[in-house]
Structure 1
Amino acid sequence: MKARFIFYLIVLFLLIPLIRDTGSPRFMLNIPTYDGSGQAMHPDVLLLKNPIGGYRYWMAFTPYPNGSSIYENPSIVASNDGKNWQVPKGLINPLERAPSQGHYSDPDIFLDERGRLWLFFRWSYKLEERIYAKYSIDGIRWSEKIPILEGNSETLISPAVVRDKLYKMWYVDIRPEPNVIKLRTASSPLGPWSEPLKCRVNGVPHDKNIWHLDVVKVKEGYDAFIVLINRGKGLREGELYFATSKDGIEWNLSSFPVLAPSSKGWDSFVIYRSSAILLEEIGGCRHYALYYSAAESSGKSKIWHIGYAEVNICVDEEGGIKLG
């Protein structure tokens, strides 16, 4: 009896670091990177009803070894269970090598009405901003990059694209203070894209600022997972919040983070851009899989990885948000 009690204590001790605030386990994924570092970040994950190239899950991401933007180039991996990821045979990462000026970042992957995979990614250099697109019918052979949007008067951080009759792209502009989310629409991924609409996010604490986001289409509108960072602290202690919207323009933000840095370990410094897969929706309650990027701090260097977690969130008719 005593031995069994000790065994349960050991198991509980081992599980404590894996438990997040919502009571669900989270763990680090092994994502192969072309540079060999294994340090991956900024995931965007697509779950397909009909596999492409033999895979149901496709992930766009970038390596980011110790915070080096030289390697922050768009890359692709695939999976059939959402947990074990590999580079599909015949695919060579990165899809674009580092540019001669500036750097790439912030990939987003989605499916068009013809069943083609699309990859959007950001290029930035000083005050210049651009979104590029590539597309593929099999996930292996990708088109040349195509410029689709320039934003020299604004930043185009963390584009998140949803196909809902029109193509809708949300992104973050950090030129204003505080940062704002903007929305553009188009009838084709190649554009032309509309002029931006400024979104309103209700409930952002005064000491926090909006950072990266992902958006998901649900029955009654849209959900978003938004990283909030503390003003004056940089990325340290950045947390992931949930927001919901009827029209994609006015959003209600949760009063609590759905994912926060661990007390220690690989995701203890910051929770960064996360990608959400809607697994089930019953009434106002949603069950999500979260692919989240996070870092631990080792001196001045940040060590980046992508992890997995799940969360249940319920939204009432008045837009109130609680954990399910």
Structure 2
Amino acid sequence: MAILKNAITPELIPSYDGSNQTTHPSVLYFPDGFQGYEYWMAMTPYPFNDGGYEDPSVLVSRDGRSWQEPVGVTNPLVPRPAVGHNCDVELCYEPKLKELRLYYVEADDIRRSWVKLLRSRDGSHWEGPQVVLEDPGQMYSILSPAIQQRKDGSWQMWYVDSGNTGFENQNNKVRSRISLDGLLWGEETTCNDLAQPGHQIWHISVWRDPATDVLHAFYPAYPDGTNCDYCSLFYARKDPGQDWETYSDAVLDPGPKGAWDDFCIYRASFLLDEPGDKLKLWYGGKKKSDSSWNMGLVETSYTDLRRQLRTKIVT
């Protein structure tokens, strides 16, 4: 039984196609605001499982609940490619340059994939895209890039490698790369300690606490022998100098039959105030009867979450 309670109703997240069916959130919070808004979100529409609409989009909010396009922006920031599809956005902030960075994946669905980057100083005018990573031989080897700035100022990217099989692969690996500037990335390493026994990790989200250097991750994972339609959401934590600490229990399962998220719990984005004991978690969810997608918001106590997870740690 999962630890968190599902959002009873989904959030209203406007999408450029008019469906307001969205997924794969990536949320940043600016306490003093950025261009007048505390919350910035990158996401993609995904109406009724149609990957042709998974184009990078950006929204802003003052309260984390009511979202709109920034002034001067007409979503999507990038149109669909002539071949294949876009997906898997990740929004970052580069403090030295005072710029937003929106990374996303493009796959040709034949044999190649890329991680591309858009950059903006004001959130309204975006430059790019530029290619920062490419796999010329596999379609789905760099899924859901999760990017954080490290203590020394360099950057780290985590992502899921599902090779050419994608959503039904049975040997997914979480891999990582380091970059000095977030543009040129080094060789990949495999995060053997970040795994969910009996499951395949799918789309990952990571946040580094700048005060403690602790890494936190939330990720959907599907049981071995199934596919990504059967995901629940899990949590992991990495203290400095230690391996990733993972847990046997999911933090969020699909909702009850007939609920808006009764089939699949997808990629989540989260804001964690550990001293304040507050966790905000936006997550994508799919309804089984019509394959509609929406986004939910859960707010909870981080201490309570950790207490319940500690009782069933994965060794």
Q: TM-score range by the shorter chain?
A: 0.7 to 0.9
Q: Match for 2:294 among 291, 305, 312?
A: 305
- Structure 1 unmatched runs, 5+: 1-19
Task: Tell me the residue number matched to 2:166.
Answer: none
Aligned to 2:261: 267
Residue 191 of structure 2, aligned match among 194, 199, 207: 199
Q: Where does the alignment leave 5 or more consecutive residues of structure 2 unmatched?
A: 164-168
Match of 2:272 among 278, 288, 299: 278
Candidates 105, 116, 124, aligned match of 2:99: 116
2:143 corresponds in structure 1 to: 157
Alignment-mate amino acid for residue 48 of structure 2 = N
1:131-163 CA distance string (max 9 Å, x none): 000011111110020111012355110000101
Aligned length: 295
Q: So what's the TM-score if we normalise by structure 2?
A: 0.87
The letter for the 1-side match of 2:156 is: K
Q: Is the contact between residue 6 and residue 255 of structure 2 (CA under 8 Å) also seen in structure 1?
A: no
* Structure 2 SS opposite 1:236: helix
Structure 1 residue 26 displacement after superposition? 5.3
- Change beyond 3 A, Cα 1:138–1:303: same
Confirm whether residue 221 of structure 1 aligns to residue 203 of structure 2: no
Shift of residue 129 of structure 1? 1.1
Tell me the CA shift for residue 88 of structure 1.
Answer: 1.8
Selected match of 1:79 from 33, 51, 61:
61
Cα deviation for residue 23 of structure 1 reads 5.1
SS in 1 for 2:237: strand
- Distance in 1 separating the partners of 2:219 and 2:194: 13
Matching residue's letter, 1:272: Y
CA contact (8 A) 1:280 1:287 kept: yes
- Equivalent residue in structure 2 for 1:102, among 84, 89, 101: 84
Q: Give me the whole-angstrom Cα distance separating, in 1, the residues matched to 2:106 and 2:79.
A: 12
Aligned residues of 2:286 and 2:293 also touching (Cα < 8 A) = yes
Shift of 1:50: 3.1
Specify the alignment match of 1:64 in structure 2: 46
What's the TM-score once normalised by structure 1's chain length? Answer: 0.84
Matched residues, percent identical? 32
Q: Distance in 2 between matches of 1:248 and 1:225?
A: 20
Displacement, 1:249? 8.5
Equivalent in the alignment of 1:29: 11
CA distance in 1, matches of 2:157, 2:310: 24
| 1:32-65 deviation per Cα after TM superposition (whole angstroms, max 9, x unaligned) | 1110011101110010133222111000000011
Structure with higher Rg: it is: 1
Q: 2:200 aligns with which of 209, 221, 224?
A: 209
Larger % of strand: which? Answer: 1
1: CA distance between counterparts of 2:33 and 2:11?
A: 21
Selected match of 1:138 from 122, 126, 149: 122
1:70 aligns to what SS in structure 2? helix
3-state secondary structure, aligned to 2:248: strand
- The offset of 1:178, in angstroms, is 1.9
C-alpha deviation, 1:180, in angstroms: 0.7
Cα distance, 1:177 vs. partner? 4.7
| Alpha carbons 2:5, 2:252 under 8 Å: kept | no
How far apart are the structure 1 equivalents of 2:107 and 2:291? 21
Name the CA distance, whole Å, in 1 between partners of 2:233 and 2:241. 19
Superposition RMSD in Å: 2.4
Query: Are 1:203 and 1:254, in contact at CA under 8 Å, matched by a contact in 2?
Result: no
Aligned partner of 2:116: which letter?
Y
CA distances 1:233-261 after superposition (whole Å, capped 9, x unpaired): 32233100000113599322122111111
The amino acid of 1:181's aligned partner reads V
1:277 shift after superposition? 0.8
Query: In structure 2, what is the equivalent of residue 171 of structure 1?
Result: 159
Question: 1:279 & 1:70 partners in 2: Cα distance?
Answer: 36
